[in-house]
């Protein structure tokens, strides 16, 4: 158990809908990262927050947004969902060095 929690574990929804994925980092970690993992694309970095502020942005679509709250939990919002958004979404938090990332168990999103 990495200490990073993610909810929900599974999510099934329809095209055009909006969903929110939630992540709680390990105690004491200030950085949260979001990743998307699909079969044909591998693990893609989406966005990083550090202590409530956006720190780095990767291949995140404009339909997706994230935020980190004062209690350091983070939410990833996915809107106008398309079939191609079906994937595993992972959250990770990092130690103060920033190099050791601890991944949560992931949320499996299925868009029908």
Q: Which is nearer to another protein, 19 or 46 (CB)?
A: 46
Binding another protein (rule: CB under 8 A), the pick from 56, 63, 82, 110 is 56
Q: What is the DSSP-derived secondary structure letter of residue 39? A: T
* Those residues with Cβ within 8 angstroms of residue 17's Cβ, 6 or more apart along the chain or in another chain: 81, 111
What's the rounded Cα separation, in Å, for the pair 105 and 4?
8
Q: Which is nearer to another protein, 45 or 79 (CB)?
A: 45
Question: CB 105 → another protein: shortest distance, Å?
Answer: 5
Q: Is 66:56 a contact under the CB 8 Å cutoff?
A: no
For the record, the structure tokens of 104 come out as 């949560």
* 2 touches another protein (CB under 8 A): yes
List the interface residues with another protein, window 71-100 (CB under 8 A).
Answer: 88, 90, 92, 94, 97-100
Question: CB 80 → another protein: shortest distance, Å?
Answer: 26
Q: Is 87 exposed, middle or buried (0-12, 13-18, 19+ CB in 10 A)?
A: buried
| Chain positions contacting another protein, by CB under 8 A | 2, 4, 31, 33, 35, 42-45, 48, 55-56, 58, 88, 90, 92, 94, 97-106, 108
């Amino acid at each position: 158990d990495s200490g990073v929690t993610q909810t929900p574990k599974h999510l099934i929804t329809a095209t055009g809908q909006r969903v929110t994925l939630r992540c709680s980092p390990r105690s004491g970690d200030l950085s949260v990262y979001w990743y998307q993992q699909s079969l044909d694309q591998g693990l893609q970095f989406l966005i990083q927050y550090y202590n409530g502020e956006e720190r780095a942005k990767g291949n995140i679509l404009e339909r997706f947004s994230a935020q980190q709250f004062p209690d350091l939990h983070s939410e990833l919002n996915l809107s106008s969902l398309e079939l191609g958004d079906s994937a595993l979404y992972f959250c990770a938090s990092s130690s103060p060095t920033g190099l050791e990332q601890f991944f949560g168990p992931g949320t499996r999103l299925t868009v029908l």
